[in-house]
Chain A
Amino acid sequence: MIERYLALWGEEETLNFLEACELPISSSIRINTLKTTNETVLSRLRSKSVVIEEIPWLEEGFYADFDGSSPGALMEHMLGFYYVQGVPSMTATSVLDPQPGETVLDLAAAPGGKTTHIGQMMQNTGMVIAVEQDRLRMASLKSNIIRCGVTNSLILRGDARKLDYLGFEIDRILLDAPCSGEGLIPLDPTRKTSKTMADVRYCATREDELLDAAVNVLSDGGTIVYTTCSIAPEENEYIVDDILNRYPELEVVEIPIDFGIPGYSEPFGVKLNESLKHSRRFLPHLHGTEGFFICKMMKKEGKVE
């Protein structure tokens, strides 16, 4: 793995990355405005000695230092007042920007952080369709929907690559694809050695199939956000470049939120679609978060040759 990042970033940046992976990541929460307000939760958490800091680009997102206690054990968490969620994950939903009344598809949805965030942004109107294949993870998805008071959801179990029979007009899709998780090394250092190039290739194939299936069911004029918690270009920019070649009606659009750094348009010297610079990356050594990739695309209306 290290050799690949030496080739991608050079020695100094790779070293910075590896050092950053040894540091803990700040915990963060998203306040659930379906049940409460920012002011109420912040006041209650501060009274319990939780140190809160704003995340500049996320209205309901906050860094929260629980000083060693479990953020999931507090009464406010049980009441569904907040969701413990990584900064990149809540940013992904903000980038999707779901609107009240729309029909939104969330693929590989468990444990439900993004589904509940979508429901929150849609103010429990329209419909958020959450698809998850894993039977065990389904339980956590359901319980988070219930805890957070999301009432506009439809949860489906099955293979997200088989969406043809869905039969909905989909306005927006969030695909946080199952990936090698190379970006999660700060959370799980074993990934430094447990993941191989074969894992990256296997995941890339599945990510490509999932994105293809998602683009197929997206309505004309619809928006799709593709994300992974991998930092490997093979699972991110390469996948998007491929899909852009197959679907000329699809275009990468700028993300109107200021965070992270631009995606790569020439990783490892391979020239990809220039518009990939509009995608964004979180990197542990630059942003103090887990590694993450976010790309927003739109499907143009009308037939494109």
Chain B
Amino acid sequence: MTLELVDPIEWTSVIEQIDGEFGDGVTKSLLGDLVPVVLSRGGSKTFFLIPTEWMYMVTEEEGERLDIQFIGKELGSIAKGRFRMSLQIIGELKELTNAFIIVTKHSAEAFTYGRSILKESVVELNPDLKRGQRVLVLNKDRECLGVASLSIDASILNRLSREKLVGKNLVDIGWFIRRLG
């Protein structure tokens, strides 16, 4: 895979998706003084953030170098136009956004086994969040467990029955174990 600078149009789309889900200026805060670069494979592209002093690796000519697989901090990947946040960045993201849901201890454990979130498990949810919105899933210690997609408008949470689905699991930290054993 080749390390490249990001395409400005594609990067704008990434910023719009991250900021649209998690709040204006969030991408800029995540970026800090790092530089976004991209590794492409097949139809998917993975975005990484690297220090400026590593930039020479982007500009070097292809030779018999070893194949770069991962570099710096993984921001996320884009496939079919949709951006997916990396598990590596969500810990930082939780400090920058109000788009999160806090769940009970039992639900937190279940979420890391790939389960989704029911109304009875919700401890805290910002009422302004809308159906389809992506939210970080936190346990009661505010540790980030993954990302879910809201199945309802948060404003109607208290009108739902206990078993009603509130958040669909998109990715969680137990994924490593399930995938790799």
A127 within 8 A of B: yes
Whether a CB of chain B sits under 8 angstroms from the CB of A58 is: no
Q: How far is the CA of A72 from the CA of B65 in the complex (A)?
A: 35
Task: Name 20 A/B residue pairs within 8 A (Cβ), A-sorted.
Answer: A75-B108, A75-B143, A78-B176, A78-B177, A79-B173, A131-B66, A138-B69, A139-B179, A143-B180, A146-B86, A147-B173, A149-B88, A152-B72, A153-B71, A154-B57, A154-B70, A156-B69, A165-B64, A165-B65, A166-B66
Is the CB of B91 closer than 8 A to any CB of chain A? yes
CA distance A155 to B74 in the complex (A): 12
Q: A78-B173, A79-B173 are in contact. Are A147 and B180 (CB under 8 A)?
A: no
Q: Are B177 and A72 in contact (CB under 8 A)?
A: yes
Collect the chain B residues with CB atoms within 8 Å of residue A163's CB. 66
The reply to whether B143 and A79 contact each other, CB–CB distance below 8 Å, is yes
Contact between B66 and A156, CB atoms less than 8 A apart: yes
Contacts of A127 in B (CB 8 A): 54
Q: Is A75 within 8 A of B112, CB to CB?
A: yes
**When each residue 237-258 of chain A gets 1 if its CB lies under 8 Å from chain B and 0 otherwise, what string results?**
0000000000000000000000
A138 to B66, CA, bound (A): 14
A73 at the interface (CB under 8 A from B): yes
Q: Which residues of A contact B88 (CB under 8 A)?
A: 145-146, 149, 151
Residues in A neighbouring B64, C-beta threshold 8 A: 162, 165
Report A-chain residues with C-beta under 8 Å of the C-beta of B179: 139, 143
A145 partner, pick from B70, B112, B139, beta carbons under 8 A:
B70
Residues of A within 8 A of B112 (CB): 75, 78
A154 to B68, CA, bound (A): 7
A-contact 0/1 string along B44-84, CB 8 Å cutoff? 00000000001001001001111111111110000000000
CB distance from B53 to the nearest CB of A (A): 9
Is A151's CB under 8 angstroms from B180's CB? no
B109 located at the interface, meaning its Cβ lies under 8 Å from any Cβ of chain A in the complex: yes
Q: Closest residue of chain A to B57, judged by CB?
A: A154
In the complex, residue of chain A having the shortest beta-carbon distance to the beta carbon of B49: A151
Closest to A81 in B: B143
CB B70 to nearest CB in A, in angstroms, measures: 4
User: Measured between C-beta atoms, what is the minimum distance from B72 to chain A in Å?
Assistant: 6
0/1 string, A137-180, CB within 8 A of B gives 1: 01110111111010111111110001101110000000000000
Which of B60, B68, B145 touches A167 (beta carbons < 8 Å)?
B60
